[in-house]
Structure 1
Protein backbone atom coordinates (compact mmCIF):
# COMPACT_ATOMS: atom_id res chain seq x y z
CA UNK A 1 0.00 0.00 0.00
CA UNK A 2 1.26 3.48 -0.89
CA UNK A 3 1.89 5.99 1.87
CA UNK A 4 -0.37 9.06 1.77
CA UNK A 5 2.69 11.33 1.67
CA UNK A 6 3.94 9.45 -1.40
CA UNK A 7 0.58 10.02 -3.09
CA UNK A 8 0.76 13.73 -2.27
CA UNK A 9 4.31 13.96 -3.62
CA UNK A 10 3.28 12.23 -6.84
CA UNK A 11 0.35 14.62 -7.25
CA UNK A 12 2.59 17.64 -6.63
CA UNK A 13 5.08 16.33 -9.20
CA UNK A 14 2.26 15.96 -11.73
CA UNK A 15 1.14 19.52 -11.04
CA UNK A 16 4.69 20.81 -11.55
CA UNK A 17 4.93 18.85 -14.80
CA UNK A 18 1.62 20.30 -15.97
CA UNK A 19 2.79 23.82 -15.09
CA UNK A 20 6.01 23.29 -17.06
CA UNK A 21 3.97 22.07 -20.02
CA UNK A 22 1.74 25.14 -19.76
CA UNK A 23 4.54 27.71 -19.59
CA UNK A 24 6.88 25.87 -21.93
CA UNK A 25 10.40 24.69 -21.21
CA UNK A 26 12.02 27.56 -23.13
CA UNK A 27 10.12 30.24 -21.21
CA UNK A 28 10.77 28.43 -17.93
CA UNK A 29 14.51 28.40 -18.68
CA UNK A 30 14.42 32.11 -19.49
CA UNK A 31 12.63 32.84 -16.23
CA UNK A 32 15.14 30.82 -14.21
CA UNK A 33 17.96 32.88 -15.72
CA UNK A 34 16.07 36.12 -14.98
CA UNK A 35 15.55 35.16 -11.33
CA UNK A 36 19.20 34.09 -11.00
CA UNK A 37 20.41 37.44 -12.36
CA UNK A 38 18.00 39.36 -10.14
CA UNK A 39 19.28 37.41 -7.15
CA UNK A 40 22.89 38.20 -8.02
CA UNK A 41 22.05 41.88 -8.44
CA UNK A 42 20.28 41.89 -5.09
CA UNK A 43 23.22 40.22 -3.37
CA UNK A 44 25.65 42.69 -4.91
CA UNK A 45 23.52 45.64 -3.87
CA UNK A 46 23.18 44.35 -0.31
CA UNK A 47 26.78 43.23 0.12
CA UNK A 48 29.11 45.45 2.12
CA UNK A 49 32.07 43.34 0.97
CA UNK A 50 31.79 44.10 -2.74
CA UNK A 51 30.89 41.83 -5.65
CA UNK A 52 29.61 38.30 -5.19
CA UNK A 53 32.29 35.62 -5.61
CA UNK A 54 31.94 33.91 -8.96
CA UNK A 55 30.29 36.91 -10.61
CA UNK A 56 31.55 37.42 -14.14
CA UNK A 57 32.23 41.10 -13.34
CA UNK A 58 34.60 40.17 -10.52
CA UNK A 59 38.31 40.52 -11.39
CA UNK A 60 39.55 37.72 -9.11
Structure 2
Protein backbone atom coordinates (compact mmCIF):
# COMPACT_ATOMS: atom_id res chain seq x y z
CA UNK A 1 0.00 0.00 0.00
CA UNK A 2 1.27 3.47 -0.87
CA UNK A 3 1.58 5.61 2.26
CA UNK A 4 -0.63 8.68 2.51
CA UNK A 5 0.86 11.75 4.15
CA UNK A 6 -1.42 14.56 5.22
CA UNK A 7 -0.19 18.11 5.81
CA UNK A 8 0.60 17.47 9.49
CA UNK A 9 2.68 14.37 8.69
CA UNK A 10 4.63 16.29 6.07
CA UNK A 11 5.31 19.15 8.50
CA UNK A 12 6.57 16.67 11.11
CA UNK A 13 8.84 14.96 8.57
CA UNK A 14 10.25 18.02 6.81
CA UNK A 15 10.54 21.58 8.06
CA UNK A 16 10.07 24.44 5.59
CA UNK A 17 13.78 25.32 5.80
CA UNK A 18 14.77 21.69 5.15
CA UNK A 19 12.43 21.64 2.13
CA UNK A 20 14.08 24.80 0.76
CA UNK A 21 17.52 23.25 1.31
CA UNK A 22 16.48 20.05 -0.51
CA UNK A 23 15.07 21.94 -3.50
CA UNK A 24 18.14 24.18 -3.65
CA UNK A 25 20.43 21.14 -3.61
CA UNK A 26 18.43 19.43 -6.37
CA UNK A 27 18.57 22.53 -8.58
CA UNK A 28 22.31 22.95 -7.98
CA UNK A 29 22.80 19.28 -8.86
CA UNK A 30 21.35 19.84 -12.31
CA UNK A 31 17.59 19.41 -11.91
CA UNK A 32 15.98 21.41 -14.73
CA UNK A 33 12.28 22.07 -14.02
CA UNK A 34 11.79 23.27 -17.61
CA UNK A 35 12.81 19.82 -18.86
CA UNK A 36 10.46 17.96 -16.50
CA UNK A 37 7.40 15.97 -17.49
CA UNK A 38 4.46 18.19 -18.46
CA UNK A 39 1.94 19.07 -15.78
CA UNK A 40 -1.67 18.20 -16.44
CA UNK A 41 -4.99 19.68 -15.32
CA UNK A 42 -8.04 17.43 -15.32
CA UNK A 43 -11.48 19.04 -14.91
CA UNK A 44 -13.70 17.49 -12.22
CA UNK A 45 -17.32 18.10 -11.32
CA UNK A 46 -16.29 20.14 -8.25
CA UNK A 47 -13.00 21.68 -9.35
CA UNK A 48 -9.93 20.29 -11.02
CA UNK A 49 -7.15 17.81 -10.34
CA UNK A 50 -3.65 19.17 -10.87
CA UNK A 51 -1.06 16.48 -11.58
CA UNK A 52 2.52 17.61 -11.25
CA UNK A 53 4.79 14.63 -11.95
CA UNK A 54 8.55 14.98 -11.58
CA UNK A 55 11.66 12.85 -11.64
CA UNK A 56 15.23 13.38 -10.60
CA UNK A 57 17.92 10.75 -10.66
CA UNK A 58 16.30 7.46 -9.70
CA UNK A 59 13.34 9.07 -7.97
CA UNK A 60 9.88 10.03 -9.20
CA UNK A 61 6.85 11.63 -7.60
CA UNK A 62 3.46 13.13 -8.34
Give TM-score, length-normalised by structure 1.
0.34
Give TM-score, length-normalised by structure 2.
0.33
Q: Point out the structure with the larger strand share.
A: 2
Look at both structures and tell me which one has the larger radius of gyration over its CA atoms: 1
